[in-house]
A and B are shown apart, each in its own frame.
Chain A
Amino acid sequence: MSATTEAAQAAAPSTPAAPEAIVQTRSLSKTYRDFWGRQKVRALKPLDLEVHRGEIFGLLGPNGSGKTTTIKLLLGLLFPTTGKALVFGKDSSDVSKNERIGYLPEESYLYRFLNAEETLDFYGRLFDMPAEVRKRRTQELIDMVGLNWAKRRQLKEYSKGMTRRIGLAQALINDPELIVLDEPTTGLDPIGTREMKDLIIKLRDEGKTVLMCSHLLADVQDVCDRIAILYQGELKELGRVDSLLKVDEVTEVRARGLSEEAKSEIREVIQRHQGELLSLDNPSTTLEELFLRIVRESEERPGARPQ
């Protein structure tokens, strides 16, 4: 295993042009086993991914497709069955990587008997932050997620959306370089969803790297720079959102100010460039269509899709 690490380190400098990889997985797979070691679920089939510094990377897939499993493997909450996951170049089992990571779990698994302030202060202490820094950071984050009015209330009195917000604040307490969000918008109202998306983009603009997973296509389409589509634990599609959604064979033309006669000769008119050309482009499909098509194809022909 150390041999592969060395190989990777040797390979890295030889491609200086490549963007810095914050997260790397190398044929990472996970099979859940029961107590007796019998195979239960192959939740993730060998996966190779890279998340680059400063991008928003989305893992997209229907429920049970292995998104959460992937994230847990990256964070060291699960141990890989094969392959390995590297974060900041460190193995996922190395706790010191956590200094620079913020993680918002699927549901906010927080201590219900603490209030918002105590919660953030507690997690701050886990980062060994001194008291003044914790105090400042706690107040900043409570303001940011808009919970100032409820900061002294125990979390067990919080609504789902409020818990989500405090969960997000908790994930940002250490001003992390890599933010891992598992279904960040579930449980949020439309305004909350909008705010969450804006925040994710803002974090990216501050130079942070975001890895999020979602089954909500709109979320992913709105914020992600690159996505990976997982289906039944298998990588189906990987690339930039804009290029994935581009339909190459079709050209879309939109025009204005053409006379009625000209309209009938539209092809000719366009060829001569006499109208005011508004756009000439390949149309995009929606992510929804792409997604449904992948699911359909996968069900017809199981196995990895030709990339």
Chain B
Amino acid sequence: MVVETEIIPFFEWLQLAVPFFLTVAVAVAVFALAASYLICAVRYGPLAGGDVVYRVVTTSIKEILQISPRRVFALAWLAIQESVRRRVLVVFAVFLAILLFAGWFLDNSSHDAGKLYLSFVLTATTYLVLLLALFLSVFSIPNDVKSRTIYTIVTKPVRPGEIVLGRVIGFSLVGTVVLLVMGISSYIFVFRSVNHTHEVVLLDDPELVEELPEGERFRTTTEQEHRHVIFEDADGNLATDFRNSHWHPISAEDSPEGTTYSVSPPEGTFTARVPIYGKLSFLDRAGRPASKGVNTGSEWMYRSFIEGGSAAAAIWRFPGITRERFPPEEFPDGIPFEMTLRVFRTYKGDVERGIPGSYVIRNPDKPDIQSSEQIFVAREFYTDRKFIPFELEDEKGNKLDLFEDLVSDGKLELAVKCLDPAQYFGMAQADVYLKADDAPFAMNFVKGYLSIWTQMVLVTGFGVMFSTFLNGAVAMIATLAAIIMGFFTKFVTDVATETVSGGGPIEALIRLLTQKNLVSPLEDTLGNRVAQLLDEGVMFVMVRMGYILPNFRQFDSSDYVANGYNIPWDLALQNLVATFGYLAAVFVAGFFFMKTREVAK
């Protein structure tokens, strides 16, 4: 659902990331040196040019080591003063207006109100904070140059790096405070918006009571366009059913006048599920292993489909299944798993009705040992919550013990089939997962804001860096371009490595104009060859840009929070470390631009 790429453990990532970072850094440094030398050689001659480059590099290393915290913080303080003067506080007013607007227009009776509100505030906060970071960072140095206040700064013993660092720190602090205030108000807003209780309705009419399934005693009043039925569990505790993504605990108090029931606030609206993902593989319609299911053409690349009424199956292999991880005391019903399948209909039937499917639990090493088929009904956009019990039966009714018979080497397989011929189930690896745990939601919320924070800091860094050599408006465009290209780095790399067909931008344009499809090769004309050659040049540059620019999609984890998944610390740490890596790079670039800039020109 959210997780489209696998998240590798932090330290494994670090072992890959650090050499990658260093390689790219060295490559960029060599390129920059060569380019600087060329420029200087043209300007001052080959020998003197080399001397200039040499001196700039050596003094730069010296100056980076001479950075003084007091000066940096003086400049950061100045940046904060400047922000206040430029009325950043207006963003709070804007944000308040957005919340008011949201309070009006968002529907708290929707079946997943928590997700609706969360994704709204997270998106609003992200855009607002990033916009703020962009505007603050990009105009600051150019304004100083224009008003010439920079003259009184650079004629002090201020190292060029301190000007860059001070700005980045100052504006990041402003952004942090803004984000903090927005985060706290969003949290309160979201909780208050979905909060509600019900009254308990006692059903006096014995006939109505008859209608309720066994174990269900009575129901609640309707609030926010829904009502719950009330259960009593084995221990005699009362609770409502799970509806609109939440349930309510109910307490009963006996008194001489009778029993009074009180319904507590909703629970389960805001969760941070910790999933265990499996590896997905397929059987084709004849039951042979296949790397992919059918591509129905409706969804792009990511999801595969299996045909109903055939031997086609989707098989997830889950790792890490041990008794220690799932003790029966904590998991009385077995191992919970959640399943969100896509339904692809070859004919439009009753959309509400759902498509029947089945799943079996099986031993990865001995697939013959498997549980009996369990039937379920898949509905579009509906998450099925089920359990794998510890005690199962096979088709013949023999008892199977989950850990003894089905788990092998800590691994377990779950195979899904679609039972309705002429219908398809669509699935991706992350669509079925075991739910190991629920992490605290508040912490997840904080991690979500941390991901916005990293983006804010990155935008600030890039904005300040570009503003060291471009004027305000141009620096803004450059930063925006970097962000947008950052969004598409993966796509760009895919185009260049021909994972995506259709060729580079110029070839794609030719195909567009000549209305050719994406896969058939272009005719071998001179024009087309030139186009492809140019594309290779463009792609060469773009791929390298892809290495340098931050992948903003990667940094944004707010979807996890909205969809109720725990943000893995591995991911949060990776993004944090990557952010500081980018900041270091941006700092060095900004330093050189600032140092080689003729301020009074």
Seen from chain A, the residues whose Cβ lies within 8 Å of a Cβ on chain B are 1-2, 32, 72, 75-79, 93-96, 98-99, 101, 103, 105, 107, 109-111, 113-114, 118, 122-123, 125-128, 170, 174
Residues in A neighbouring B78, C-beta threshold 8 A? 111, 122
Residue B74 contacts which of A77, A99, A122 (CB distance < 8 angstroms)?
A122
Please name the residue on chain A nearest to B162 by beta carbon.
Answer: A126
Interface centre among A78, A118, A122 (most CB of B within 10 A): A122
| Contact status B149-A126, CB under 8 Å | no
B152 lies within 8 A of A77 (CB): no
- Given the known interface contacts A110-B149, A113-B85, the answer about A126 and B156 at a Cβ–Cβ threshold of 8 Å is yes
> Given the known A-B contacts A2-B51, A78-B600, A128-B71, are A96 and B157 also in contact in the complex, defined by CB atoms under 8 Å?
yes
Decide if A128 touches B157 in the complex (CB within 8 Å): yes
Q: Are A126 and B153 within 8 A (Cβ)?
A: yes
Query: CB-CB < 8 A to B68: which residues of A?
Result: 128
Interface residues contributed by chain B, number (CB under 8 Å):
35
Q: What are the 9 tightest A-B residue pairs by CB atom distance, in nearest-first order?
A: A125-B74, A77-B600, A126-B156, A109-B148, A113-B85, A98-B157, A103-B155, A109-B149, A72-B600
Q: Are A77 and B599 in contact (CB under 8 A)?
A: yes
Which residue of chain B has the shortest Cβ distance to A118 in the bound complex? B81
CB nearest to B160 among chain A residues: A95
Bound-state Cα–Cα, A76 to B63, Å: 15
Q: How far is the CB of A177 from chain B (nearest CB, A)?
A: 13
Residues of A within 8 A of B299 (CB): none
When C-beta atoms are compared, the residue in chain B nearest to A72 turns out to be: B600
| B291 touches A (CB below 8 Å) | no
Smallest CB separation, B153 vs chain A (Å): 7
In the bound complex, do residue B48 and residue A123 qualify as a contact, i.e. CB atoms below 8 Å apart?
no
Check A98 against B599 for contact (C-beta < 8 Å): no
Q: Which residues of A contact B48 (CB under 8 A)?
A: 1
Q: Which of A94, A110, A113 lies in contact with B82, CB distance below 8 A?
A: A113
**Which of B51, B70, B148 has a CB less than 8 Å from the CB of A128?**
B70
Given known A-B contacts A101-B155, A103-B155, A114 and B81 have beta carbons under 8 A apart: yes
Which residues of B from 453 to 476 have beta carbons under 8 Å from A? none
CA distance A263 to B152 in the complex (A): 63
Q: How far is the CA of A1 from the CA of B55 in the complex (A)?
A: 11
Q: How far is the CA of A1 from the CA of B63 in the complex (A)?
A: 21
A103 to B149, CA, bound (A): 12
Query: Within the complex, what minimum Cβ distance (angstroms) separates B173 from chain A?
Result: 16
Q: Are A126 and B157 in contact (CB under 8 A)?
A: yes
- CB neighbours (8 Å) of A105 from chain B are 148, 151-152
Q: How far is the CA of A113 from the CA of B144 in the complex (A)?
A: 13
**Chain A proximity mask over B11-52: 1 for CB below 8 Å, otherwise 0:** 000000000000000000000000000000000000010011
B260 sits at the interface (CB 8 A) = no
Can you spell out 16 A-B residue pairs with CB atoms less than 8 angstroms apart?
A: A1-B48, A1-B51, A2-B51, A72-B600, A77-B151, A77-B600, A78-B598, A95-B154, A98-B156, A98-B157, A110-B152, A113-B85, A122-B74, A123-B152, A126-B153, A128-B68
A72, B154: Cα distance in complex, Å = 11
Contact of B159 among A32, A78, A95 (CB under 8 A): A95
Known contacts being A72-B600, A99-B157, A125-B70, is A109 close to B151, with CB within 8 Å?
yes
Interface flags, B123-165, vs A, CB<8A=1, else 0: 0000000000000000000000001111111111111100000
| A127–B70 alpha-carbon span in the complex (Å) | 9
Please tell me if B348 contacts chain A, counting CB pairs below 8 Å: no
Bound state CA distance, A127 and B158, in angstroms? 8
Q: What residues of A have a CB within 8 angstroms of the CB of B157 in the complex?
A: 95-96, 98-99, 126-128
CB-based nearest A residue for B78: A122
Are B81 and A109 interface neighbours, CB within 8 A?
Answer: no
Specify the chain B residue showing the minimal Cβ separation from A96.
B157
CA distance A98 to B68 in the complex (A): 15
B288 within 8 A of A: no
Q: Say yes or no for B601: interface residue by CB 8 A criterion.
A: yes
- B376 at the A interface (CB under 8 A): no
Residues of chain B within 8 A (CB-CB) of A72 are 600
How far is it, in angstroms, between the C-alpha of A122 and the C-alpha of B51 when the chains are bound?
Answer: 36
Tell yes or no: B59 within 8 A of A by CB: yes
Bound-state Cα–Cα, A29 to B148, Å:
22
B326 partner residues in chain A, CB cutoff 8 A: none
Cα distance, A109 to B599, chains bound together (Å): 14
Once A72-B600, A128-B71 are accepted as A-B contacts, the answer to whether A95 and B158 lie under 8 Å apart by CB is yes
- Write out the residue numbers on chain B whose beta carbons fall within 8 Å of the beta carbon of A32: 601
- Interface of B with A (CB < 8 Å)? 48, 51-52, 59, 63, 66, 68, 70-71, 73-75, 77-78, 81-82, 85, 147-160, 598-601
Q: Which residues of B contact A1 (CB under 8 A)?
A: 48, 51-52
Q: A95-B159, A126-B158 are in contact. List 14 more A-B contacts (CB 8 A).
A: A1-B48, A75-B155, A78-B598, A78-B601, A94-B59, A95-B63, A95-B158, A98-B156, A98-B157, A111-B82, A113-B81, A122-B74, A122-B78, A126-B75
Contacts of B147 in A (CB 8 A): 109
* Residue numbers in A under 8 Å from B150 (CB-CB): 109
Q: Are B152 and A170 in contact (CB under 8 A)?
A: yes
Shortest CB-to-CB span from B37 to chain A, Å, is: 16
| Nearest neighbor of B159 in chain A, beta-carbon distance | A95
Give every chain A residue within 8 A of B85 (Cβ-Cβ): 113
CB distance from A246 to the nearest CB of B (A): 37
A123 to B66 alpha-carbon distance, docked (Å) = 18
Closest to B52 in A: A1
Within the complex, the shortest CB–CB distance from A102 to chain B, in Å, comes to 9
The winner among B73, B147, B160 for most chain A CB atoms within 10 A is: B147
Chain A residue numbers with a CB within 8 Å of B70 are 125, 128
* A2 surroundings in chain B (CB, below 8 A): 51
Q: How far is the CA of A117 from the CA of B559 in the complex (A)?
A: 48
Shortest beta-carbon distance from B83 to chain A in Å? 11
Docked Cα-Cα span, A126 to B158, in Å, equals 6
Neighbour of B81 across the interface among A103, A107, A110, A111, CB < 8 A = A111
Kindly state the separation between the CA atoms of A32 and B598 in the bound complex, as whole angstroms. Answer: 11
Which B residues touch A77, using CB under 8 A? 151, 154-155, 598-600
- Give the residues in chain A near B71, CB-CB below 8 Å: 125-126, 128
Q: In the complex, which of the residues B148, B150, B155, B600 has the most CB atoms of chain A within 10 Å of its own CB atom? A: B155
Complexed CA–CA distance, A128 and B75 (Å) = 12
Closest to B600 in A: A77
**Shortest Cβ distance from A3 into chain B, in angstroms?**
10
Residue of A nearest to B62 (CB): A96
Complex alpha-carbon distance, A111 and B83, angstroms? 13
B470 to chain A minimum Cβ distance, whole angstroms, is 12
Write the chain B residue with the least CB distance to A125. B74
Hey, which chain B residues are within 8 Å of A75, CB to CB? 155
Q: Which residues of B contact A94 (CB under 8 A)?
A: 59
What residues on B are CB-neighbors of A126 within 8 Å? 71, 74-75, 153, 156-158
State how many angstroms separate the Cβ of B462 from the closest Cβ of chain A: 24
Complex CA gap A76/B160 in Å reads: 12
Residues of the A chain whose Cβ atoms lie less than 8 Å from the Cβ of B151: 77, 103, 105, 109
Nearest A residue to B166 via CB reads A126
Could you tell me the distance in whole angstroms from the C-beta of B450 to the nearest C-beta in chain A? 31
In Å, the complex CA distance between A101 and B66 comes to 19
Nearest CB of A to B65, in Å: 12
Query: Smallest Cβ distance from B499 to chain A, in angstroms?
Result: 41
* B contact residues around A103 at 8 Å (CB): 151-152, 155
Instruction: For the complex formed, measure the closest distance between the CB of A180 and the CB atoms of chain B, giving whole angstroms.
Output: 8
Q: Which of chain B's residues has its CB closest to A79's CB?
A: B598
A113 to B81, CA, bound (A): 8
Instruction: Please give the distance in Å from B152's CB to the nearest CB on chain A.
Output: 6
Closest residue on chain A to residue B598 by CB atoms: A79
Instruction: Give A93 to B159 CA distance when docked, in angstroms.
Output: 11
Task: Please determine whether B152 and A109 come into contact, CB atoms closer than 8 angstroms.
Answer: yes
Task: Give the nearest-CB partner of A75 in chain B.
Answer: B155
Report chain A residues within 8 Å CB of B148: 105, 107, 109
Which residues of the other chain, B, contact A76 by a CB distance below 8 angstroms?
154-155
B577 to chain A, nearest CB (A): 31
Q: Chain B contacts of A96 at CB under 8 A?
A: 66, 157
Whole-angstrom distance between the Cβ of B149 and the nearest chain A Cβ = 5
Chain B residues near A93 (CB-CB < 8 A): 59
Q: Which residue of B lies closest to A123 (CB)?
A: B156
